[in-house]
């Protein structure tokens, strides 16, 4: 029976019919699906979108609890792999929450937890793992300023042995227009002989071609300066008056002899260099060691006037004036005071049209009376004849 069982199992595996994906479901929700560089599986995406919301929430909650328990067990066990547990947890969240970051998915909070917990876990063992670096790269796609994250990674020696770090950092700098810094980042990765350095060199060559194809801005043309002509000899003065000679002497004296320092205008002193304040106490009190120990979370870096994302289900919308009614214990009064006409009694009320009860007499006689000839009877003829004129 053993060979028969093996043949039956093999036949069942290879005879499994392929799953049919309903692309109408994908087409209806394509605008709410976040794009991923690695792409998405059509079967998994169809399953999650075709499941009703009531069943979907309970199913996702059960799987989430199981993945959370696996992470906690992996962190407590020294022989387990917590990076793999977090990796499965993050990928499951990406697959089952196609819309990306939200209050229901908690994707950003999960990535922040994974990257912070594993940073110093087991004396920084995971800093040299490629999966750990990819978690940071995924995190940079959800923050407002990814350059801060890249600076933190380089300062803490996280993923510095992989070309992926320098390539992604240079791409962000190029998007911000910082081309010199992007070129320096490529050169830094090549100089450190990062893993897959040939791929990094190819990317650097493509970057240099793009920089050479960029049209350099035209240098502004400086206006032509009128060069002084040849020195002309002074003419001999034929005759001068006392007033003109004193004016010429004053003009020549002011243009040739400089004024003393005490008589210079106060505006000349504004060209002095500005003295910069230096806080000597801050340098002495600076803590030794790593200058970038923590990068913080997105919630700590976000602006104060940005509202926090919450779940839509079960949320009560605040109504205007509700707290005031509860505090006073009575009905809320309107803040709008309508205008009241004080001369309303003196003004006559407008008369309404009243239906008239008087019947209108209609003349029953026709307006047009036809002409008729008078007829007389002739007794001896036995018929009537018209009266002759």
pLDDT digits (tens, 9 = 90+) for 31-42: 778 777 777 777
| Res. 222: pLDDT tops 50 | yes
Measure the N-to-C terminal CA separation of the chain; round to a whole number of Å. 142
Provide the pLDDT for residue 206.
95
- Own/partner pairs, 353-360, CB within 8 angstroms, 24+ separation: none
Give whichever of 4-13, 42-51, 66-75 has the largest mean pLDDT: 66-75
298 or 211, higher pLDDT: 211
Of the pLDDT bands very low, low, confident and very high (cuts 50, 70, 90), residue 168 is very high
Buried/exposed 341-356: b ≥16 CB within 10 Å, e otherwise: eeeeeeeeeeeeeeee
In this prediction, residue 12 has a pLDDT band, given cuts at 50, 70 and 90, of very low
Identify the CATH number of the domain defined by range 21-132: 1.25.40.430
pLDDT digits (tens, 9 = 90+) for 103-136: 788 899 999 999 999 998 888 899 999 999 999 9
Return all residues near 352 (Cβ < 8 A) that are at least 6 apart. none
Per-domain residue ranges for the chain?
21-132
Distances (CA, A) of 252 to 246, 247, 255, 268: 10, 9, 5, 22
pTM of the complete model beyond 0.75: no
Phi/psi for 375 (5° steps) reads -115, 130
Give the number of other Cβ atoms within 10 Å of residue 13's Cβ. Answer: 8
Residue 198 pLDDT greater than 90, yes or no:
yes
Q: Give the residue-averaged pLDDT of 283-305.
A: 59
Region 305-317: mean pLDDT is 65
Residue 238 in this model has a pLDDT that exceeds 70: no
pLDDT at 80 over 80: yes
In this predicted structure, what is the pLDDT of residue 91? 92
């Amino acid at each position: 029976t053993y060979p028969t069982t093996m043949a039956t199992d093999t036949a069942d595996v290879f005879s499994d019919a392929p799953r049919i994906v309903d692309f109408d479901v994908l087409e209806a929700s394509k605008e709410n699906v976040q794009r991923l560089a690695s792409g998405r599986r059509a079967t998994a995406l169809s399953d999650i979108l075709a499941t009703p919301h009531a069943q979907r929430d309970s199913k996702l909650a059960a799987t989430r609890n199981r993945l959370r328990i696996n992470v906690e067990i992996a962190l407590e066990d020294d022989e387990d792999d917590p990076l793999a547990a977090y990796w499965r947890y993050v990928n499951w969240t990406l697959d089952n929450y196609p819309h990306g970051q939200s209050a229901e998915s908690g994707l950003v909070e999960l990535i922040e937890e994974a990257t912070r917990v594993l940073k110093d876990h087991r004396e920084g063992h995971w800093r040299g793992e490629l999966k750990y670096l990819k978690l940071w790269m995924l995190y940079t796609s959800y923050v407002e300023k990814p350059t801060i994250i890249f600076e933190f990674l380089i300062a803490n020696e996280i993923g510095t042995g992989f070309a992926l770090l320098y390539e992604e950092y240079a791409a962000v700098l190029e998007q911000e227009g910082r081309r010199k810094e992007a070129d320096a980042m490529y050169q830094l990765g090549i100089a450190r002989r990062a893993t897959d350095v040939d791929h990094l060199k190819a990317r650097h060559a493509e970057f240099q071609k793009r920089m050479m194809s960029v049209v350099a801005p035209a240098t502004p043309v400086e206006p032509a300066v009128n060069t002084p002509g040849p020195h002309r000899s002074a003419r001999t003065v034929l005759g001068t008056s006392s007033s003109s000679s004193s004016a010429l002497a004053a003009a020549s004296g002011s243009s040739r002899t400089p004024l003393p320092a005490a008589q210079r205008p106060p505006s000349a002193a504004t060209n002095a260099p500005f003295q910069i304040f230096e806080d000597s106490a801050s340098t002495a009190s600076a803590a030794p060691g790593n200058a970038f120990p923590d990068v913080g979370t997105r919630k700590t870096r976000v602006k104060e006037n940005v509202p926090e994302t919450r779940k839509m289900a079960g949320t009560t919308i605040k109504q205007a004036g509700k707290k005031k009614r509860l505090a006073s214990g009575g009905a809320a009064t309107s803040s709008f005071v309508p205008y009241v006409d004080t001369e309303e009694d003196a003004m006559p009320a407008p008369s309404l049209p009243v239906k008239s009860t008087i019947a209108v007499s209609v003349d029953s006689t026709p307006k047009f009376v036809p002409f008729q000839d008078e007829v007389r009877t002739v007794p001896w003829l036995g018929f009537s004849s018209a009266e002759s004129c």
